[in-house]
Structure 1
Amino acid sequence: MSEEILIRQGAPTLAGIKTGSLFPCPCEDRGDLLADIRRLNRRLSPKGLCLLPIRFLAGQALLYLYRPAELRRDLRDARVSELLRQAGYEDESCARCVARLACRFRESGEFPHEVGLFLSYPPEDVKGFIDHRANGFKCAGLWKVYGDEGKARSLFEKYRKCTEIYCTLWQSGSKLEQLAVAV
Structure 2
Amino acid sequence: MSDQLIVHHCAPTLAGLKAGSLFSCPCRDAGQLTGELRRLNRALAPKGLRVLPLQTEKGRALIYLYRPRALERELAGGEARALLKERGYGAEAACRCLARLARKLRAGEAFPHEIGLFLSYPPRDVRGFICNGACRHKCAGCWKVYGNEAAALRTFEVWRRCTRILEARLAQGYPLEKLAVAG
- Calculate the TM-score normalised by the size of structure 1: 0.97
Query: CA separation in 2, counterparts of 1:67 and 1:169?
Result: 21
Query: CA separation in 1, counterparts of 2:55 and 2:80?
Result: 23
Deviation of 1:134 (Å): 2.6
Q: Which residue of 2 aligns with 1:81?
A: 81
The one-letter amino acid paired with 1:73 is: R
Count of paired positions: 183
Equivalent residues in 2 for 1:21-170 (5 A)? Answer: 21-108=21-108, 111-170=111-170
Q: CA RMSD in A?
A: 1.0
Query: CA separation in 2, counterparts of 1:133 and 1:11?
Result: 27
Q: Structure 1 segments of 4 or more deviating over 3 A? A: none
Report SS of the residue matched to 1:52: strand
Query: CA separation in 2, counterparts of 1:106 and 1:40?
Result: 23
C-alpha distance after superposition, 1:107-147 (max 9, x if no partner): 13553110000000000000111111231000011110000
Q: Which moved more, 1:67-76 or 1:110-119?
A: 110-119
Query: CA separation in 1, counterparts of 2:125 and 2:90?
Result: 21
Query: CA separation in 1, counterparts of 2:177 and 2:52?
Result: 18
The verdict on how the C-alpha distance between 1:125 and 1:35 changes in structure 2, with shifts beyond 3 A counting, is same
Report SS of the residue matched to 1:89: coil
C-alpha distance after superposition, 1:37-93 (max 9, x if no partner): 011101111100000100012121000000000000001100000000000000111
Query: CA separation in 2, counterparts of 1:10 and 1:110?
Result: 25
- Calculate the TM-score normalised by the size of structure 2: 0.97
Report SS of the residue matched to 2:61: strand
Unaligned runs of 5+ in 2: none
Query: CA separation in 2, counterparts of 1:24 and 1:14?
Result: 17
Report SS of the residue matched to 2:92: coil
Query: CA separation in 1, counterparts of 2:92 and 2:57?
Result: 28
